[in-house]
Amino acid sequence: MGQLPTGNELPGHRDVEGEKLRMGCHKIVSRQEALELILGSTHPLETIKLPLEKTLDHIAGEDICASGDIPRFDRAAMDGYAVSSKDTAGATKEHPVRLKVVGDIHPSTADLAPIETGQAARILTGGAIPPRADAVVKEEDARYSAGTIEVQAVVPPSQHVWKKGKDVRKGGLIVQRGEAVSPAVLGILAALQMRKVPVTRRPEVCILAIGNELIELHDRPTGHKIVASNMHMLSAMIKQHGGRVRAAKISKNDKDTVRQDIEEGLQCDLVITTGGSSNAHSDLTRPLMEEIGIDLRFAAVSMLPGKGTSFGLHDGKPVFGLPGTPSAVSVAFYSLVLPALLRLMGCKVDGISPIKAILEQGIKKRPGIEHLVQGLVREKDASYHVLPLVGPDVEVFSAMRRANGLIIVDPDKSRLSEGETVLVQPLNPFEASLLERPLPEKQVIQEQEAAMAPIVSIVGKSDAGKTTLLERLVSELIATGHRVGTIKHDVHGFDIDHEGKDSWRHKHAGARTVAISSPKKVAVIRDVETEETIDGLAAKYFQDVDIILTEGYKKESKPKIEVFRSQVHDKPLCQNDNHLVALVSDIPLDLGVPRFELNDIKGLEQFLEQRFLTKSSHLKT
């Protein structure tokens, strides 16, 4: 009898070459090769249409586009008064504009009379904007007296108005094929009155636990019988990830019984057997699979645990043979079966990407085969750390219960040292909460960038008119219903706090950050060690806008619009800049991009609309 492993030492492989000979022509493959064979031959099931209320977490079977606009009409975003912005021209505190209130508009108001010059209508949030009105004055910003309101400032068009199609535009993409129908997506589809949704059919799975020693939950244990716990564990795993267990049963290790159960199981979309997968004479599963006509793609995987995992196809249906030990079943499921299940469901999946983590305790093992060690992943000091759940004092079921990742130990490694950076495959890659931590800041920023408003830089040489152009462009974009943010880049530094002011005194007393807050605005003054990036600013402060215009940042790799005036400079700034998307100039120039006259603000707005705002106007979730 060989020496048992001690400490955190893992058992090595037996005579792999000898086992290859005993398996004849059946392949032993690496885990990566196994995954490629599985995903290369597993395809999404057919697309079906389900009632909207039954589609939560189903996978879209095709691209789903909006059949109409959301909202369908211009709506008030605040309680207040619907007005025509033109009627507020010249309004100031000293010389307010007075408007007569002629009606009340609720969200349920159907018949809307147009407001005339000098009139306003009281409106509640969600109410439809009446004809001729194009803005809303907040209730607290208007002084009401005897049927008349006073407006003390010019009201810009579209102020506090949800424009038609602002959240979702007709024809816009709601969810791509291969993406899940989330609660937010379901809500959008409901708003669009989509009663039937095209989704990929959920796979039906058959689970067979093979072995004469196995009993059901309700059976009385006698002798050395054990409950078929793998069958229940696999059933839960399948259900947790969206599959449907059509059959889960114990199959006695008898040739006729196993054959019949596998043949019946092939009526499902996926068959998983557990137990009876070794090379022993008493295990019948693999030979019977071949007799039934299952095309065996591999007979074993060079990994521990889970080495005895096999995979084949029958009329395009995937069939897995898993080992019988619970830890091997768990590892094989998360490493190989789960990607196949997700592919059948229609998910876009090419495997489960590992994360990097710092090893909290060393691991020893004999080289020659890949080991997947159960581990507990946690966050410490803004990075992942992983504790290996292995050793003589660690119980199998306790490790399985606590583990949320698999530490990957390469075949050529004999030792992993404490403090070493290792690769860990998450057991559930879709739930960051299982890693007991928020997502890393870098990943948060990446996800925010994916949904971030487009950033366009207005650049040009000094005195070219950048500020004037940006000022007019902002007004035009707002008039067409867009929310705009701006960033001014000052390479020389700036000071907006004045000596002697309370905030100045706070800062000079040593405060690292000072905030100034009022009912209508907030400002933050903060020292930084390095300049904030555009993307960093956008991610932190511009989540509620449709487009971000910057003045400056000529060296950044962002889309640029150059302002050029021949009366001031001899040649443009961005003659050889691949990020230049448009030129605004007073003379004809060909820089290979669209050119606009200095006064063609409407044309420039339409260019931005078509180039950058069509995709970003969908509802942000």
Kindly state whether residue 35 falls inside one of the protein's structural domains. yes
Give yes or no: residues 569 and 430 share one domain.
Answer: no
Asked if 266 and 300 sit in the same domain, the reply is yes
What is residue 520's predicted lDDT score, i.e. its pLDDT?
78
Same domain, 465 and 482: yes
Query: Where residue 562 sits, what CATH number does that domain have?
Result: 3.40.50.300
Cα gap 101→113, rounded to integer Å: 13
Residue 3 lies in a domain: no
Is the domain of 477 the same as that of 593?
A: yes
Q: Are residues 256 and 395 in the same domain?
A: no
What's the total number of domains in the chain?
A: 5
DSSP 226-292: EE-HHHHHHHHHHHHTT-EEEEEEEE-S-HHHHHHHHHHHTTSSEEEEES--SSSTT--HHHHHHHH
Distance CA 411, CA 134 (A): 69
pLDDT in tens, 331-368: 999 999 999 999 999 998 877 778 899 999 999 888 89
CATH number for 191: 3.90.105.10
Residues 212 and 326 in one domain: yes
Residue 475 is given by DSSP the state H
pLDDT in tens, 202-241: 999 999 999 989 989 899 888 889 999 999 999 999 999 9
Please indicate, yes or no, whether residues 236 and 326 belong to a single structural domain of this protein. yes
Look at residue 581 and tell me if it is in a domain.
yes
For residues 364 and 326, state if they share a domain.
no
Note whether 268 and 306 are same-domain residues.
yes
Domain boundary among 280, 311, 345: 345
Query: Locate tokens 């931590």: which residue?
Result: 437
In a domain, residue 350? The reply is no
For tokens 């603000």, what's the residue?
601
Three-state SS for 174-210 is: EECCCCECCHHHHHHHHHCCCCEEEEECCCEEEEEEE
User: How many Cα atoms sit within 13 Å of 285 on the Cβ side?
Assistant: 30
Asked whether residue 2 is domain-assigned, the answer is: no
Which of 200, 221, 249 terminates a domain? The answer is 200
Answer with the one of 385, 415, 438 that is the final residue of a domain: 438
Residue 315 belongs to a domain: yes
What is the CATH classification number for the domain harbouring 39?
Answer: 3.40.980.10
81-138 confidence digits (pLDDT tens) = 999 999 999 999 999 999 999 999 999 998 999 999 999 999 999 999 999 999 999 9
Q: At 595, is the secondary structure helix, strand, or coil?
A: strand
- Is residue 1 in a domain? no
Q: Is the pLDDT of residue 21 over 50?
A: no
For the ranges 291-300, 495-504, 609-618, the maximum mean pLDDT occurs at 291-300
Clarify whether residues 144 and 180 are in a common domain.
no
Same domain (yes/no): 97, 208? no
Tokens 């969810």 sit on residue = 175
Q: Please say whether the beta carbons of 272 and 208 come within 8 A.
A: yes
Instruction: List the single range of 21-25, 82-86, 162-166, 170-174 with lowest mean pLDDT.
Output: 21-25
What distance in Å separates the CA atoms of residue 42 and residue 349, rounded to the nearest whole number? Answer: 11
Please report whether residue 621 resides in a domain: no
Alpha-carbon torsion 217, 220, 224, 225, what sign? Answer: negative
Whether residue 470 is found in the same domain as residue 422: no
Handedness of CA 123, 127, 132, 136 (dihedral sign): positive
Domain that holds residue 152: 75-162
